[in-house]
Amino acid sequence: MQDRTKQNDEGRKQTALFAQLVEILTQNAVMLLGAMPDRQGRQRPPDLNGAEMFIEMLNVLQKKTKGNLSREEDKMISSTLYQLQTAFAEVASKTGEFGKARKATEAAETSEEDDLADEPAPAPPPSRHSPAGSQPQSPKPQGIQAATTTTESKVKFTKKYD
């Protein structure tokens, strides 16, 4: 009985440490995206290369720990990555880094598809006509400010000759 209690305590400790690791990487990425001030309270312009590095670290952490995480830990890192990739794409597109924005958007869509494949009963995607303030109901890790998600409509231009 004591061995089982000891294992549960160790498991909770490891989960807490894993959550702290994800939180540290997330806070650094958010700070480099310009979404929160640094330790001295200064608001800095976005550093996309630095933010991209922290997001990639989280991505590698997710891949290397796949199959070794609890369902909650997996959901935490997946939702964190999705939110960071979405925020990165938004900041990159605002700063004119469209190549990086496109890459981050594709990565976010891929991670969302992977999450849906792991779920036993996937939720239907939000409709295009949903209210502007509505967002998917996913757990938000602490320290991440909700990024406004904007759906970009793809416009096809055609040229007609008379």
How would DSSP label each residue in the chain? -HHHHHHHHHHHHHHHHHHHHHHHHHHHHHHHTTSS--TTS------HHHHHHHHHHHHHHHHHHTTSS-HHHHHHHHHHHHHHHHHHHHHHHHTT-HHHHHHHHHHHHHHHHHHHHHSSSPPPPPPTTS-TT--------TTPPPPPP-PPPP--------
Answer yes or no: is 56 within a domain: yes
Answer yes or no: is 77 within a domain: yes
Q: Residue 7 — very low, low, confident or very high, per pLDDT cuts 50/70/90?
A: confident
Predicted pLDDT of residue 112 = 65
Predicted pLDDT of residue 100 = 77
Answer yes or no: is 6 within a domain: no
Predicted pLDDT of residue 158 = 55
Q: Residues 63-77: what's their mean pLDDT?
A: 94
Domain enclosing residue 27, as ranges: 11-118
Answer yes or no: is 146 within a domain: no
Predicted pLDDT of residue 29 = 94
Answer yes or no: is 123 within a domain: no
**For the chain, what is the mean pLDDT?**
76
Answer yes or no: is 92 within a domain: yes
pLDDT in tens, 98-140: 777 777 777 777 766 666 565 554 444 444 444 444 444 444 4
Tell me the whole-structure pTM to 2 decimals: 0.62
Whether the pLDDT of residue 151 is over 80: the answer is: no
Answer yes or no: is 134 within a domain: no
Answer yes or no: is 161 within a domain: no
Predicted pLDDT of residue 56 = 95
Q: What is the count of structural domains for the chain?
A: 1
